[in-house]
Amino acid sequence: MCGIVGLFLKKEDLRPRLGEMLTDMLITMTDRGPDSAGIAIYGDEAGGLKMTVQSDTPETAFAGLDTALEAALGQKITMKVIDTHAVLTLPEGTEAAARAFLAEKGLRVMGAGAAMEIFKETGLPKDVAARFGIRAMGGSHGIGHTRMATESAVTTLGAHPFSTGDDQCLVHNGSLSNHNQMRRVLTEKGFAPLTQNDTEVAACYISSRLAEGANLGEALEGTLQDLDGFFTFVVGTKNGFGVVRDPIACKPAVMAETDDYVAFGSEYRAFANLPGIDTARVWEPEPATVYFWER
Residues serving a catalytic function are: 2
Instruction: Give how far the C-alpha of residue 153 lies from the chain's centroid of Cα atoms, to the nearest Å.
Output: 19
Nearest partner of 100 among 75, 78, 69, 54, judged by Cα: 69
Task: Report the alpha-carbon distance of residue 115 to residue 100 in Å, rounded.
Answer: 22
Strand order in the sheet with 116-122: 116-122, 36-42, 141-147, 3-9, 261-265, 254-257, 281-283
The full DSSP string for 107-134 is PEEEEEESSEEEEEEES-HHHHHHHHTG
Q: Is 282 helix (H, G, I), strand (E, B) or coil?
A: strand
Angle among Cα 275, 119, 265 to the nearest 5 degrees reads 35
SS3 content of the chain, % helix, strand, coil (to 5): 30, 30, 35
